[in-house]
Amino acid sequence: MATDDISTSRRKLMQGATAGLMTAVAARAIAQSNAQQDGQSTGNQAGVPPDPRSLYAHPPFPAQHQPWPGLAGRMTPRPDHGENSYRGSGKLTGRHALITGGDSGIGRAAAIAYAREGADVAIVYLPEEEPDAREVVQLIQAAGRKAVALPGDLRNESFCRKLVGDAQHQLGGLDILVNNAARQQSHDSILDITTEQFDWTLRTNLYAMFWLTQTAIPLLPPGSAIVNTTSVNAYEPGVNILDYAMTKAAIANFTKGLAKQLIDRGIRVNAVAPGPFWTPLQVSGGQTTQNLEHFGERVPMKRPGQPAELAPIYVLLASAQASYVTGQIYGAMGGEGQP
């Protein structure tokens, strides 16, 4: 389900993003980029996709940290959300999508892809993420679609319930809901997680999803789709992200149970379970410095995924092409995991 046409412009974007890294890292990234641009050097024949192992930047990554919630524009290397590579084909023409966490990471990749597939898109994000959100709004508009920006804190129930109506009104309808926003903070031990921190994670990852979905259901016509973001941590929980992992397991369970309820309304419910993906979630407290430098190294692919590599899955699950798919968890984990 990964996009076959990995464009030269994307490779150049990721090569350029590695500028400023330590010499060894930069040299390695440039060598990988050159290999991608030369089909013979990767052993590929004309029309054969590039070797997935050689795509994008590989660890080690430079030490870096941002205050929560982090910005994609300040990451090194900068994540690829499909800005210069995703090509639409009308799969979501006339649709109306609400995406939480749509300013960066996986949500941003979905927003770009949805717009280029013909959908109008509303994105939800924290006010601190405004610089990233402005870029997404411009990309949606450049695709010729309507963009709606809805800044606010998903831990607030009244905000969650209001934003659903605002999105429907400003978009002129609502038939896709993507529950993607999440909080992840690294803690070596359960003894280090305060009640305040635990509540922050659960309200962001679970309460908001519940409130948004509950409010949206009466507004969603038959044929609509709900796509949730769970994680490999639902199946193989990381030792240092206990509270985050338990919410992702709950999201997988919620998806399967809700799908059984909503099919009577003609609404499909599915989820995507990513493995290690290069997003601001990781550099703003989601990983330790040591884990971040070697992020993605342990999976069989030997690198983290880029948000652009998930976009086609989110498109499929929202589109009529997946008309018989509901209650499913789609894994994209670089070679590990269970769904």
Query: DSSP string spanning 163-221?
Result: HHHHHHHHHT---EEEE--------SSGGG--HHHHHHHHIIIIIHHHHHHHHHGGGPP
Rounded-to-integer distance, Cα 273 and Cα 275, Å: 7
Rounded-to-integer distance, Cα 59 and Cα 28, Å: 10
3-state secondary structure of 65: coil
What are the residues facing 120 on neighbouring strands? 96
244 a catalytic residue: yes
CA angle 281, 285, 289 (to 5 degrees): 110
Rounded-to-integer distance, Cα 90 and Cα 116, Å: 8
Alpha helices (H) in 72-194, listed in sequence order: 105-116, 130-142, 157-171
Main-chain phi, psi angles of 150, to 5 degrees: -130, 80
Q: Which amino acid does the sequence have at 224?
A: S
Q: Kindly name the residue from 114, 125, 235, 244 that is annotated as catalytic.
A: 244
Active-site amino acid positions:
244
